[in-house]
Structure 1
């Protein structure tokens, strides 16, 4: 089993292989390990490669992926790449786009700017998904850019979480990719009633599905809720369920970054610290580097990992995709990782927080006014 802080990962690079039903899971928290595994899967592709990414950068890492995808496309493998137009606006390049298309890759932009439908541009595809040969899939918070790589970015690389899986769940992932490729944005494939599921936030029956899932999970928690998110700006219902859980004695711990790439989102999160602390929620700020992981572990047997942050944009505006499972081994691995992260975090104490200055209070009020757009 690899150490949670393994700095010399193998090609697999996972914390441990986990199984439930017909699926097995592999968790990644180091970008170099994840990218090595993804590139290895791409290199072995025989039939198809389906890739979605919010950010696909024309940098040293993105170029490595570009070469790997082109090599497979030229070998006759069907390669589809779906990139978010806003997320990759300043990262991807026209040169890389043309290079991919010339060499047989089908590349599509999600919601490019249109004067006819300008409101569409605000609804982003925030999903990060790779499916190879309908055999293995990768899902989580890692984008394709060097900021997640120790090799290319150094010790300040972002801290994130991804999971790979095989089994019947891969077919569901492929259906979700295909639906988005065809513009069917609220399609939800049939899934088995129990075990692991892939959940996206807007379906034909519920436009706020992830908010409903989080709220129900928090309200049913008995022992603990360990929540990691880079941007914590939840809606009132989700916030209320989290506080109610703490008030009834559930050990609720929230881990957010001290360093962030969206400073105003941190202001908004800090504005609601007081309410959380008064309810008994324990808040920790991760210190070493940018924290971009999105995981929830509840009561040793329920876990959620994927692309959605706990903020308005992920819950109600963007298109997201999460893995939700009751597998105890996966929950145990994510819990172990969470506890390791806490050793690198500072706890926010009520008595200290109440003595903060006037500027942070003002920043928080301003951020909360525009919280629905962060």
Structure 2
């Protein structure tokens, strides 16, 4: 792996924008970070114009049976979408689907048409998507859905906060589909052409007991926003399998278990922790758990994109690097494309794949869903994928990072107040 590239803030135009933004905002505790964030975003938009993108590398499709469950790991949107569309076309009774982003492009259109075909042959179809995540998508795109399909758009802003502000925060960031109560999909992939071709992500298809919990994750949030008579019915689980479970954040219930599953797994670690997340902005408890693990000799490796689709999140993340490197944590910057996978393995036995990032929004506000698997064979497949991705990553070297430009250090410090919002 090659050394860390030079900071983009070495370039004079960026430096001037950051300094100008800071001066314009004055000494305001909120104004300065927001102005810096706006400046970074503007520079990033200019840099991305005309940039040629390469198709994402696809490590492959991996089958990993676990007792009563059959799990299939997808690392390519094209492969995943074909499997999902096939499942919709094979549905006989019911399809439940939810996503954060659903683009009005050829890939998104294929899902519209698949849901309409299912509804036309008498399948009960529920569709949910997030209003904020799709602000730029024309409403006319969703109006193509068959009138028999039950559709819910989680409002971007018009929330009933009078019922309780905390219970009505967060986005519907889950990406789940359940078909005929028998097959479930969950992971990081949104729906769209770019995600199919240019993003590296990870999704899991599960046939087995965990499908019930994915179904519950969808039903709880649907029922929290619908009156009696419009709600999804409860069905009993077929069996218990503690080796494949689902952790789902449910803001209406004030339940956020995904953060706890991460903390417990990190605290148990004795040998190695491999984390892949597109946005790494941990709270102090999660950060300290990782630092403590590294200091007691655990091989902790955190992989993030070299350049994600959110430059402010990238710079907020960099503010943690010095302390992580000092503790012995390995930081890998994936450079082949935008990597959006939300996965982790611990000690080659515990794994998670899902929708939650290691940031404040995902762990403490959003609707999120992660499948948790305790199985050595499944963990081996996940570690294999991590190793393949690591070959396309650059390792952050401590001496080089400590010598980074002073303006970069200033930007990292100025963005600290924004961490709770990211």
TM-score (structure 1 length as normaliser): 0.90
User: Is the partner of 1:99 in helix, strand or coil?
Assistant: coil
Task: Please tell me whether residue 249 in structure 1 is matched to residue 249 in structure 2.
Answer: no
What CA deviation, in whole Å up to 9, does each residue of 1:141-189 have, x standing for no partner?
0000111122xxxxxx01100000011211221122111111179x9x9
Q: By how many angstroms is 1:323 displaced?
A: 0.5
Q: 1:114 aligns with which of 154, 158, 169?
A: 158
Matched, 1:177 2:177: no
Q: In the alignment, which of 127, 130, 145 is matched to residue 100 of structure 1?
A: 145
**Contact 2:89–2:114 under 8 Å retained in 1:** yes
Structure 1 position 101, deviation (Å): 4.1
Instruction: Quickly say closer, same or farther: Cα 1:124–1:205, change in 2 above 3 A.
Output: closer
Q: Does 1:259 align with 2:307?
A: yes
What is the CA RMSD across the aligned residues, in angstroms?
2.3
**Number of matched residues?**
355
Secondary structure in 2 matching 1:218: helix
Q: Distance in 2 between matches of 1:77 and 1:115?
A: 31
2:206 is matched with which residue?
165
Alignment match of 1:349 (pick from 377, 386, 397): 397
Specify which of 368, 375, 378 is matched with residue 327 of structure 1. 375
Shift of 1:201: 2.8
* Of 129, 135, 152, the match for 1:83: 129
* Bigger mean CA deviation after superposition, 204-213 or 159-168: 204-213
Q: Deviations over 1:269-291 (max 9, x none)?
A: 10110000000001110001111
User: Does the 8 Å CA contact 1:28/1:162 hold for their aligned counterparts?
Assistant: yes
| Gap change, CA 1:23 and 1:225, over 3 Å in 2 | same
Distance in 2 (CA, whole Å) between partners of 1:115 and 1:316 is 18
Other-structure match for 2:325: 277
**Inter-CA distance 173–220: structure 2 relative to 1 (3 Å threshold):** same
Aligned position for 2:24? none
Sort the Cα spacing of 1:79 and 1:115 in 2 relative to 1 into closer, same or farther, 3 A.
Answer: closer
The residue aligned with 2:109 is 63
1:132 aligns with 2:173: no
Show the counterpart of 2:79. 33
Q: Partner of 1:149: helix, strand, or coil?
A: helix
Distance 1:21 1:260 in 2: 37
Distance 1:314 1:341 in 2: 23
1:218/1:241 contact within 8 Å kept? yes
Preserved contact between residue 86 and residue 121 of structure 1 (Cα < 8 Å): no
More contact order relative to length (CA 8 Å, sep ≥ 6): 2
3-state secondary structure, aligned to 1:241: helix
The TM-score, its normalising length taken from structure 2, stands at: 0.80
User: Per the alignment, in what secondary structure is the counterpart of residue 182 of structure 1?
Assistant: helix
Greater Rg by CA: 2
Match of 1:153 in 2: none
Counterparts in 2 of 1:121 and 1:183: CA distance versus 1, 3 Å: closer
